[in-house]
Amino acid sequence: MDVASLQQCAGRTAAAPPHPLDPLSSPEVAAAAAACRAHAAAAAPRLPPLRFNTITLQEPPKADLLRFTNGRGPRPPRRAFCILQTPPIFGVIEATIDLSHFHAAGAAAAAVVSWVAIDGNDMGGQPLATPDDCLEAERIARASPRVQAVLAERGVSMDQVACDPWAIHAGKWKGRMMQVFTYLKLGPDDNEYARPLDVVPVVDLNTGQVVDIEAYPEAPKNIPTAGGNYHRDLVEQPFREAPKPLYVVQPEGPSFKVDGWRVEWQQWDLRLGFNGREGLVLYDVGYTDPQEGGRRRPVVFRASIVEMAVPYADPSSPYNRKCAFDAGDYGLGFAANSLKLGCDCLGVVQYFDAVVNNAQGEPVVIPSAVCLHEEDAGLLWKHVDYRTGYSEDRRARRLVISFIMTAVNYEYCFYWYLHQDGTISHEIKLTGILSTSLLMPGEGDKSRYGTMVAEGVNAAAHQHIFSARLDMAVDDEDGGRGLVVSELNAVRHPSHPLTNPAGNAFTESETDLITVHAARRQSSAADARVWRVKNPARPHPFTRKPVAYHLYTPGGPVLLAAEDSVVARRGKFTTATLHVTPYKDGQL
């Protein structure tokens, strides 16, 4: 997109500058990329061509945003944050682009305000692997004569191979590395995970070379041949009989209202956002309370899923490196589906397009990436007067905000729910296909560290651990500055002839979590443990205790890998159910 086109796009929207939290538009992404290229050409003309990893909104500092939203300060500058690469140089450039005047003055007004080059040897990690990076890793592996020769030893030609690129979090290699798991794919719609191969090339994205190939010491004698297809034209068993049609109709339309990225529903209001790493973000969630004279009560300043870890249990090389941090490795938003291709929302649906970027710095629109709808949620409340037989009941409705992403073999479906009783909940549904491996030599006919899903095909045991970042603002106009988090546990009282003669007494204990170290907590169903996010400045009118939200977490273990494992070192969030830390700008 050239500068003239950008100015035309900007001119069409100049009348309404975006809200400071609105995601970058396509023209803004293109303008940020153009500003980076112009700056590089002027300041470092010998620099290799820029490869754009990420172009995203740089959210304003929290204090500035609060002053603006509360009517006490000016509109914060609108800026884009860019992560750039210059292969074959090992490192990144972090650039900040001011877009504050873009909507009024056009693309020429986009200006670089920060440009920091970071040597790859000084970084504790690497930028995420974008969809373009994953395709590049596959291209490098496919083009390698060495890889082709190893596959030929197994009687497999490259046109029969599917390649799954995975990030590498530890190993003997230095650089921007990816490992490529290979599978036999007998046709364009064949399910490759039914036929895993033992060949795993390791590629360097910066140099464009295969630096290593890992394979079993001897070529496997028997590559699995059984099909396991899901494509409707290839399934070997007929589909089950379909149920009768079920229709959800809303003849009067939905109960929600949408203005740009702002949503209102049943006393709730919030802003939606979207970026390449986290995908869907909720901002400034509030509830207008009729019992408080219609006062809007802040609930959440910002909420998103910021990371997830999927560590696999097989200790054999190369599978002991098999672990995905899907948000940091690939980007939940970069991998988001267009829900036009399939969505489980019924009734009246509002879709939101998302904009990310490709390696050339061009905007990439994901049509209908976010789905907004409301749905019946069963019984909300019911009571029957058993003396008279009189009954009252209320149906529940909930607002659903969702998106779905594909991480190679798996689909993750993320759902935020707002309920009429003031509850907020989050659900993640996992679907897709298991990532498989070929049995190692000497393992016999089964693996100790997985489940056999077909003859010779192992699905290694693994976990899915998610990190939800919740910046709460419970009834606090200052964005949650005055909140305190405490832990509640049920306490069983021993029998006592005076204080508990029947032995039935129990109470709860409450402990404020004051330090970061003390606030690394584990769930405990035996203690009915919950965490309370409370506002001491706002006492409840009846209990006189601080108003609060309770945080309930699902059961399940934290990380099962060893404490000194790579996963535990890189993903500290996996080692505890709850971490409470002070807010700090820039920690996203």
Q: Distance (Å, rounded) from C-alpha 345 to C-alpha 189?
A: 26
The catalytic residue among 314, 326, 475, 476 is: 326
Residue type at 525?
Answer: A
From residue 530, give the alpha-carbon distance in Å to each of 211, 269, 284, 575, 587. Answer: 49, 26, 24, 18, 26
* 326 tagged catalytic: yes
The catalytic residue among 64, 212, 351, 410 is: 410
Q: Distance (Å, rounded) from C-alpha 325 to C-alpha 465?
A: 9
Residues 6+ apart with CB under 8 A from 428: 305, 412, 413, 414, 415, 464, 466
Q: Distance (Å, rounded) from C-alpha 23 to C-alpha 266?
A: 25
* 449 tagged catalytic: no
Q: Distance (Å, rounded) from C-alpha 584 to C-alpha 416?
A: 24
Q: Distance (Å, rounded) from C-alpha 199 to C-alpha 219?
A: 9
Q: Distance (Å, rounded) from C-alpha 497 to C-alpha 81?
A: 67
Q: Across the beta sheet with 450-454, what order do the strands follow? A: 437-438, 457-460, 450-454
Q: Distance (Å, rounded) from C-alpha 39 to C-alpha 113?
A: 10
Furthest-apart CA pair in the chain: how many Å? Answer: 88
What six digits make up the tokens of 298? 């802040």
For 26, which DSSP code? H
What six digits make up the tokens of 457? 């095909």
3-state secondary structure 28-40: HHHHHHHHHHHHH
3-state secondary structure 439-503: CCCCCCCCCCCEEEEECCEEEECECCEEEEEEEECCCCCCCCCCCEEEEEEEEECCCECCCECCC
If phi > 0 it is left, if psi is from -120 to 50 it is alpha, else beta; for residue 412 that is: beta
Q: Distance (Å, rounded) from C-alpha 523 to C-alpha 169?
A: 28
Residue in 49, 326, 275, 53 with CA at minimum distance from that of residue 165? 326
- Looking at the annotation, which residues are catalytic? 326, 410
